[in-house]
Amino acid sequence: MPYRLQHARPEHRALLQRIYICQRERELRGFGWSSDQCRLFLELQWRARNASYAAQYPDALDQIIVRYELPVGHLLPEYQNRGLGARVLRDLQRACAGKGQTIVLSVACDNPARELYARLGFVAVAGDEMYTRMEWAGS
């Protein structure tokens, strides 16, 4: 399953925003909001998230997954459950294990990806009613 990682560029903004909105939409389903209200709220959240990440992690490297020269982001829903995310994470684990590095992630409590992370050896170390912090210690 060939893929490569590529630095996210300004032209990937719409793709990354779409992924963010797709991931968060299920959280808003029970609110009774219209589609337009949900979209506006999530666009505002997207901007706030980006500003917060930029301030908290100024040296962070944002990458996207590219498969067959098609940017699929951090995985668009139509590319999920096909093994690509697991492959990317296993490759990252191999790279980190060789350096003794730990991988830390935060995942929404209702996100089915939690099962994938657990299968790959990530352990829940903290969390609240919305998000779980998971870690994988390279060994």
Is the domain of 58 the same as that of 26? yes
Please, which residues have CB within 8 angstroms of residue 15's CB and are 6 or more apart in sequence? 64, 71, 73, 76
Work out the average pLDDT over 48-58.
88
Give tens-digit pLDDT for 66-97: 888 888 776 677 778 888 889 989 988 998 99
Q: How many other CB atoms are found less than 10 A from the CB of residue 134?
A: 22
Domain that residue 75 falls in: 1-80
Work out the average pLDDT over 93-103.
89
Place of tokens 């903290």: 126
φ, ψ (nearest 5 deg) of residue 120: -90, 5
Is the distance from CB of 21 to CB of 42 less than 8 angstroms? Answer: yes
Is the domain of 28 the same as that of 90? no
Domain count, the chain: 2
Which among 41, 17, 13 has a CA at the least distance from the CA of 27?
A: 41
If DSSP codes are grouped into helix, strand and coil, which group holds residue 37?
Answer: helix
Instruction: Flag whether pLDDT at 118 surpasses 90.
Output: yes
Is the domain of 72 the same as that of 92? no
Is the domain of 94 the same as that of 128? yes
Is the domain of 6 the same as that of 40? yes
Please, which residues have CB within 8 angstroms of residue 14's CB and are 6 or more apart in sequence? none
Distance between CA 59 and CA 54 in Å, rounded? 8
Is the domain of 116 the same as that of 136? yes
If DSSP codes are grouped into helix, strand and coil, which group holds residue 129?
Answer: coil
Give tens-digit pLDDT for 6-23: 888 888 888 888 888 887
**Residue 1: predicted pLDDT:** 66
